[in-house]
């Protein structure tokens, strides 16, 4: 039983050997998240940007 478990763990460890893709995807998600937070913050707080995007002034 223990040998079967070790064989399964070894196979899955070999399949997940693409650390570069993992870091690239994580970096892209982090960048996208920061961009959305910055965009929403500027949209809510900056009257000029809010008026440019929505077409009406910020109340």
C-alpha distances (whole Å) from 26 to each of 19, 33, 40 are 10, 11, 21
pLDDT of 57 strictly over 80:
yes
What pLDDT does 13 receive? 58
Host domain of residue 44: 18-59
- Within-domain flag for 13: no
What pLDDT does 37 receive? 98
* pLDDT per position as a tens digit, 12-48: 656 556 888 999 999 999 999 999 999 999 999 999 9
Q: Residue for token digits 């960048």?
A: 31
pTM of the model: 0.61
User: Phi-psi region for residue 57, left (φ > 0), alpha (ψ -120 to 50) or beta?
Assistant: beta
- Within-domain flag for 11: no
> How many domains, in total, are found in the chain?
1
């Amino acid at each position: 039983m223990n040998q079967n478990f070790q064989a399964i763990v070894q196979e899955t460890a070999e399949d997940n050997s693409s650390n570069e893709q993992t870091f690239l995807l994580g970096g892209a998600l982090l960048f996208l998240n920061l961009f959305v937070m910055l965009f929403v913050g500027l949209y809510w707080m900056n009257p000029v940007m809010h008026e440019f995007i929505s077409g009406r002034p910020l109340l």
